[in-house]
Structure 1
Amino acid sequence: MAARRTRGMTGSDLSRATVARATAIAEQLRYECSILLELYRKKESFTADLLVTDGRLVSVPPPSSQLDTRDKLWRLHSALLQCRSLLERAITKEEEELGGGMKGEYENQRKMVKGRLSLLLINTGELLKTADGAAVLTPSLEGLELDGPTTLFELKLWVYRIFKEVDYWTKTAITILQALPSVIDKERVRSTRSTRSTRR
C-alpha cells in the first residue's frame, strides 16, 4: 500500500516527505544530544558553562547565501559525515583509555545519538540524490582530528567538544532542512514557468 502511494508521488512530493522525515530525525537528534551532553557533564563533573574555545572540529566551506540547495545539502551532509567519524573515534578512544566497563545510561545515550546521526546521514544523502540526480560523493575526511589528545583531561575535553560539534551541526541541519520546503516550492514554480514558456 505504502509502495503504491509512493509511486504516485511526484519528485517534489517525495522531496518534501524526505525533508519532513529528515527534519524530524534532526529534531530528535537535537534532543538526544542535549541529554548526552548533560549526562557527560555529570559524568565528568563539567559545568554547563564550560567554554570550549578551540574552534570547529568539522571542516566545511563557510556558509553563503549564494549556495544553491544542492551545495547547502552537500555542505551539511559532509559536516554530518565528519561528525559521525569523530563520534565513532571518540567512542573508541573513550573505551580504550577509560575502559568500557558497565553499560549505563550514558553509554546507551551515546549509542542512540550515533544511531540517530547515521539515520540523519541516510536521509540527507537521499535529499542530495534528489537535488543532484546522481550518486552522492563521499566528502573527504582528510585533516579531521581523529587521533585525539594524549592526556586524560584533554581526552575528556576532546570528547566533550565532539559532542558539542554534533549538537551544533544538528541545530544547523534543522535550520537548513526547515528552509528546504519553500526552496523546493520556488524551484518547482520556476521549472513550471520555464516549461510553459518552452511550450509557447
Structure 2
Amino acid sequence: MADRLTRDRNGSDLSRTTVARAAAIAEQLHHECSILLELYKTQESLTEDITIADSRLVSIPSPSSQSDTKDKLWCLHSALLQCRSLLERAIAREEQDLGSENRGEYETQKKMVKERLSLLLINTGELLKAVDGMAVLTPNSEGLELDGPNLFDLKIWVYRIFKEVDYWTKMAITTLQDLPSVIVKERVRTTRVRSTRSTRR
C-alpha cells in the first residue's frame, strides 16, 4: 500500500511534494474559512452568545492514531467530499431563500472557499489513489438537507455548514502534516520485508 507512495527515491520526493502542497492548501483554506465565518456573522447579525449545536454534520469516523495511511486519507477525503456537498447545498439555499444582492465581499469569499475546498479535494484524492490505486467513493449525503426551516433556522444551518468546513479543514492540516513521518515509517517497514524475502530466496 505505502509502496506506491515510496517505491523509489523520485516517487518519495513526489509524494512529499504532494503532501506538502495539500497541507499548504488546507492552511490557506482554514484562513479563508475564518474570514468567511466572520463576514457571515456580521452580515446576518449573529452574536457571539448564539447557541450552535455541537453535533457534527459530516458522518465520517475520525481516524485513530493506529490507522494506516490509507484509512486516514480515506476518512479525510470522504469528510471533505461531504463538506463540499454541504457547502453547495448551503449556497443554493441562500440564493433561493436569502438572496445574494449587496453581498459583494461575502459572496467573493464564499466562492473562494468553495474553489479552495475543491482544490484540496483534488490533492487529497491524488494521495488516496496513490496509496489505494482506486477511485474514491461518492459520499453518502442522506440527511444533509434542511427541510422547511424558518429564516432564522436557515441562517443557523448555513453557519453550521461553514463551521463544519472550518473544522474539517483543521483536521486536514493535522492529518496531512502527520503523513510524511507515516510514509517514512511505512517505507522502512516495506524495505525490511523485501530484504527478508530476498534473504530467504
TM beyond 0.5: yes
Deviates more, 1:94-103 or 1:78-87: 94-103
C-alpha distance in structure 1 between counterparts of 2:32 and 2:19, whole Å: 20
Q: What's the TM-score, normalizing by structure 2?
A: 0.90
Tell me the amino acid that sits aligned with residue 196 of structure 2: S
Identify the residue that residue 104 of structure 1 maps to in structure 2. 104
1:17 deviates by: 0.9
Q: Please tell me whether residue 37 in structure 1 is matched to residue 42 in structure 2.
A: no
Give the number of aligned pairs.
Answer: 192
Deviates more, 1:151-160 or 1:64-73: 64-73
Kindly tell me: are residues 107 and 66 of structure 1, through their superposed partners in 2, closer, same or farther at Cα, counting changes over 3 Å?
same
C-alpha distance in structure 1 between counterparts of 2:147 and 2:58, whole Å: 14
Identify the residue that residue 121 of structure 2 maps to in structure 1. 121
Q: Could you list the per-position Cα deviations for residues 39-81 of structure 1 after superposition, in whole angstroms to 9, with x for gaps in the alignment?
A: 0010011124533125111111243223211111111111100
CA RMSD of aligned residues (A): 1.6
Contact 1:87–1:162 (CA under 8 A) maintained in structure 2: yes
C-alpha distance in structure 2 between counterparts of 1:92 and 1:78, whole Å: 21
Q: Please tell me whether residue 131 in structure 1 is matched to residue 140 in structure 2.
A: no
Identify the residue that residue 166 of structure 1 maps to in structure 2. 165
Kindly tell me: are residues 172 and 62 of structure 1, through their superposed partners in 2, closer, same or farther at Cα, counting changes over 3 Å?
closer
1:148 deviates by: 4.9
The runs of 5 or more residues in structure 1 that have no matched partner are 1-7
Pairing 1:131-150 to 2, within 5 Å after superposition: 131-141=131-141, 143-150=142-149
Deviates more, 1:58-67 or 1:85-94: 58-67
**Runs of 4+ residues deviating >4 angstroms:** none
Aligned residues with identical type, % of pairs: 68
Q: What's the TM-score, normalizing by structure 1?
A: 0.90
C-alpha distance in structure 2 between counterparts of 1:181 and 1:149, whole Å: 46
Identify the residue that residue 152 of structure 1 maps to in structure 2. 151
